[in-house]
Structure 1
Amino acid sequence: MIESFGVEQKDVAKWAGIASAVFSLAQCMTAIMWGRASDTFGRKPTILVGLTCTMILNIIWGMSVTLPMAIIARALQGAFNGNVGIIRTMVAEMVPEKELQPRAFSIMPLVWSLGSIFGPSFGGFFARPAQNFPGLFGNNRFFLNFPFALPNIIASFLFMIGITTGFFFLRETLESKRNKKDWGVEVGKKLVTSSKVLCCKPRPRHHTPGHPAYDESSASLLRPTSSGSDTAESFGDNFESSKSKAPVTRPSLREVFTRQSIINLIAYTFLALHSVSYDQILSVFMHHPRQIHNPSNTQLPFKFSGGFGLHSGRIGTIFTLYGVVGGFIQFVIFPPAARKFGVLNCFKVCAVTFPIICFVTPYTALIESSTWQQIIIFAILIVKSFAVIFAFPCCVILLTNSAVSLRILGTLNGFAVSISAVGRAIGQAMSGAAFT
């Protein structure tokens, strides 16, 4: 897409880095605001507003025809993209038990891995439809003028599904708002009931006399493991106490920035810096033309250049396979490993692994065989997949557990997104400029 704006081949990496950096910088400036908004108005409305804005700006990004327009669109996308920290906060509020957190916090990266599987192929397949599908879109002036609009228009329908699902079925988790009537959820319940009546015949409920029938809508997500009477009594007491609580005040910065939370924020920032930078520059490195190495242009260990010379379709295939492996690691290997070895120990191993991966990767350009180049870089990507997939959830769990109370989680995660966005912006800009 950057090339289509008339940017020279040698400057593509630099401008791709700048486009990514402005997204992160804009996100940095607004993430705290989104976090505080979720602590004030609730998690659900903040997420729905963020999704709606992201959907609109995603279409504008796809319709960009000049480099300045694309950069402005990316900046606005970053400014209105505050949902990551809020969703993490909701997960922490729904799953406070530490033994369940590895499984719960692995779901978000799993969805990200699924996106990385289908996203590159999806975008590449539907981009430039007038050229790639002349029989269908060859005479369509809109797609001739906006060659990258179609994948973003299709993606907007996925956004609509998410917004609709969230409005009707997502429940509020903020303590001060969760007991208020949610008309969206009420309508969602009626829709589910109506669909059950239309699709299947209701079966009579049988229960022992003296024991109330199980009401699925009123059951809590995680029930205590005490006896039935104690459970009912404590549940009722909690409900009454939550109704009688005074409005929650805005958390102070002293509550947010404890010693442990500061350490975790620094670790998360540097993790985001080098991980995102690596992912961004790797595709440029694999697309960069190969170089025939000889004594005149190569002086080991540090003076050499060249890439893989792969076309975008091949690169997309490699990243798709990488995403498949990542999804397996995320949901099958990470949760039991984190429970067995501990979240902190897993994070320490990942911290040692990352520098080795970054140091070894450039030397794959020295391999003469293109086949072996791709095999070895894929092996490196698998190791990186283990490191990234373990490191990010571990860091989020450590950050969540450093919070002094659930009341400050929205603000704390807002700061985490904001500060890590600075790291991503610096890393993306520096890596793009350095490669160029």
Structure 2
Amino acid sequence: MSRSEEITQNEVRFPTQQLFILALCRFAEPIAFTSILAYIYVFTLDLRPDDEANAPFFAGLLVSAFALAEAATCVMWGSISDRYGRKPIVLIGLGGTALSSLIFGFAQNYWVGLAARVIGGGLNGNVAVIQTMVSEMVKSPDHEPRAYSVMPFVWSAGSILGAAMGGYLAQPSKSFPSIFPVDGLFGKYPYLLPNLVASAYIAFAIVIGMIFLRETNTSPTQKSRPQEDISQASADERTPLRPRSSAALMSISSDQDHSTTGRRPSLIGTNLSLTTSTTADLRRVSTISMGAVRPLIPSIFEGHQAESEDGNDIPATPWNREVVLLIVQLIVMSYHQMAFASLLPVFIVDEPTTGHLDLRGGLGQTVRDVGTYFSVTGVVAMLIQVLVYAPLVERVGVWRSFILFTILVPLTYIVTPFLTALDSSGIQVGVYADMMANSFALIIIYPCLLILIKNATPSLSMLGQVNGLAMAACSGARTFAPPLAGYIYSKGGSAVGWWSIAAAAILGGLLLFPMSPPVGAGESVSD
């Protein structure tokens, strides 16, 4: 074997080692982000004891502040990573998360805690940058589904550990008084321990990243381009941040003839893996990552697609009726998903106001119970992703699966306030059943929506634009869901709060009526 053949073979090898190192870095964020969910309500009550009625709203602000600050700065960090490289930005993001966690742990004032969350989100551009590093590590299109599924899996695993850590380590002087005395450090700062543990892991991830993580942006200063032929490709939303193998380029743009451009493509939109293939194995695809979704059914607009690839008839706009309605569905789903995740810990810990069916108060359980619920449900959700999702959608079909679970998911919100009518053992079973049913429905709905949006887009050249707007809109929905749901809960009681979320989910069901089944989406994937 010649040296050139050996180099080519190495280039298409799956980047296991680097993906593992990147996963260690990524693992830090879900731990830090989800650990506060378990104790966010009691944290707010402790720091705002005179405003208990509005505690759900202010707890929601703490949840959404990180996401809002991250959304406001992610484009900036992406642009900086284009110029100076991905690795420094990843390390800065980890450092910002550690700093935010420590400030939050030491906070004895609500507004200091809120500022800590804003700092953490503002200094963290790793969501887009890490996903872009994955795309730059992968040299072969055949490796993309497997590679793109790594980071969503890491997020799920980190979320499980984070929820458990927050539930068991918060207020340690109450849970473990013999180890952590009330008059000690962790008695004075009851929420420091989970944040200290998270920061310690982040410090470990920073050291590993500094030593072993390789820079994937090989020309961060924009002074040179490794391959001259990349300048002939379209520099649109789908253009990779660095030159890829010829096979990868062909999977994005085949037989396109565009004018030469000298500028380096932006980070925006490049974390979306694109392909012209119309079939894929669902078992190899992430159920969370937008970038991992490949079409499972023939394109809804096959005629337009073929013409667009030939360059004869590119549609003037991607915003056809199907695309708009599907994006609205995605926004609605993002809202009620995040509202559920942020309001449930409040409901579990909130004290009941009556002895039986209580439509204003909560379940009166502990922070440790919250951590246990989220951890167990997270494990079950991962098993559903791996074992249930693909066979179910292959058998039922993408469109039918989407319709079925969009209709059923509001029930998981409608029944939640009635859990207060159960006894102590029944409450535990009811919470698990409610959370698992909700997770099951959303695990099916989300990837099906992404697949349908991808197939409804008239031309692949417009997919980056469509996906970019869809993700931005979803970020907005997830940002405003926690404080809005918390405000409704605080003003109207638990039942009104949950039924407002159910109303949003029902709206998603009503939006099904003006939608027509896409061609081919009703059949099973295997057909």
State whether TM-score is above 0.5: yes
Deviation track 1:90-123 (CA, whole Å, cap 9, x = no partner) reads: 4455569888666544433332332333223312
1:327 aligns with 2:382: yes
2:333 to 271, 292, 298: 271
Q: Within 2, Cα distance between the matches of 1:168 and 1:395?
A: 40
Contact 2:78 2:129 in 1 (8 A): yes
Q: Which residue of 1 aligns with 2:101?
A: 58
Letter in 1 for 2:345: S
Q: Which runs of 5+ in 2 are unaligned?
A: 1-42, 224-243, 251-260, 273-316, 491-527
Contact 1:126 1:151 in 2 (8 A): yes
Q: CA deviation at 1:69?
A: 0.8
Q: CA deviation at 1:263?
A: 6.8
CA distance change for structure 1 residues 71 and 169 in 2, over 3 Å: closer, same or farther? same
Deviation track 1:272-295 (CA, whole Å, cap 9, x = no partner) reads: 22111101111211223343458x
Q: Which residue of 2 aligns with 1:373?
A: 427
Q: CA deviation at 1:124?
A: 3.1
CA distance change for structure 1 residues 344 and 37 in 2, over 3 Å: closer, same or farther? farther
Q: Which residue of 1 aligns with 2:46?
A: 4
1:432 aligns with 2:486: yes
Q: Within 1, Cα distance between the matches of 2:381 and 2:76?
A: 32
Q: Within 1, Cα distance between the matches of 2:140 and 2:397?
A: 15
**Equivalent residues in 2 for 1:2-401 (5 A)?**
2-7=44-49, 8-94=51-137, 103-138=146-181, 141-174=184-217, 248-250=264-266, 258-259=318-319, 266-290=328-352, 291-293=354-356, 304-335=359-390, 346-365=401-420, 367-393=421-447
Letter in 1 for 2:380: V
Q: CA deviation at 1:34?
A: 2.7
* Aligned partner of residue 307 in structure 1, secondary structure: coil
Q: Within 1, Cα distance between the matches of 2:318 and 2:150?
A: 27
Q: CA deviation at 1:176?
A: 5.0
Deviation track 1:60-101 (CA, whole Å, cap 9, x = no partner) reads: 111111011111111222222322233333445556988866
Q: Within 2, Cα distance between the matches of 1:378 and 1:289?
A: 19
Q: Which runs of 5+ in 1 are unaligned?
A: 181-220, 225-233, 235-244, 299-303
Q: Within 1, Cα distance between the matches of 2:378 and 2:157?
A: 7
Q: Within 1, Cα distance between the matches of 2:140 and 2:394?
A: 12
Letter in 1 for 2:414: F
Q: CA deviation at 1:163?
A: 2.3
* Aligned partner of residue 415 in structure 2, secondary structure: helix
Q: Which residue of 2 aligns with 1:218?
A: none
Contact 1:18 1:428 in 2 (8 A): yes
Contact 1:286 1:309 in 2 (8 A): yes
Q: Which structure has more helix as a fraction of its residues?
A: 1
Q: Which residue of 2 aligns with 1:420?
A: 474
Q: Within 2, Cα distance between the matches of 1:324 and 1:252?
A: 32
Q: Within 2, Cα distance between the matches of 1:115 and 1:271?
A: 22
Deviation track 1:299-354 (CA, whole Å, cap 9, x = no partner) reads: xxxxx434322222223222221111112122333355566666666555543343
Q: CA deviation at 1:264?
A: 6.7
Deviation track 1:33-77 (CA, whole Å, cap 9, x = no partner) reads: 233334444433322221121111111111111011111111222
Q: Which residue of 1 aligns with 2:228?
A: none
Letter in 2 for 1:308: L
Q: Over the residues paired in the alignment, what is the CA RMSD in angstroms?
A: 4.3
Report 1 or 2 for greater relative contact order, CA contacts < 8 Å, sequence distance ≥ 6. 1
Q: Within 2, Cα distance between the matches of 1:350 and 1:77?
A: 35
How many residues align? The count is 367
Q: CA deviation at 1:429?
A: 1.1
Contact 1:277 1:428 in 2 (8 A): yes
Q: Within 2, Cα distance between the matches of 1:289 and 1:173?
A: 51
Q: Which residue of 1 aligns with 2:500?
A: none
CA distance change for structure 1 residues 356 and 31 in 2, over 3 Å: closer, same or farther? farther
Contact 2:68 2:479 in 1 (8 A): yes
Q: CA deviation at 1:166?
A: 3.0
CA distance change for structure 1 residues 338 and 161 in 2, over 3 Å: closer, same or farther? farther
Contact 1:25 1:78 in 2 (8 A): yes
Q: Within 2, Cα distance between the matches of 1:165 and 1:413?
A: 33
* Aligned partner of residue 309 in structure 1, secondary structure: coil
Q: Which residue of 2 aligns with 1:229?
A: none
CA distance change for structure 1 residues 346 and 50 in 2, over 3 Å: closer, same or farther? farther
Letter in 2 for 1:117: I
Letter in 2 for 1:326: A
CA distance change for structure 1 residues 137 and 289 in 2, over 3 Å: closer, same or farther? closer
Contact 2:83 2:220 in 1 (8 A): no
Q: Which residue of 2 aligns with 1:204?
A: none
Contact 2:106 2:191 in 1 (8 A): yes
* Aligned partner of residue 357 in structure 1, secondary structure: helix
Q: Within 1, Cα distance between the matches of 2:404 and 2:148?
A: 19
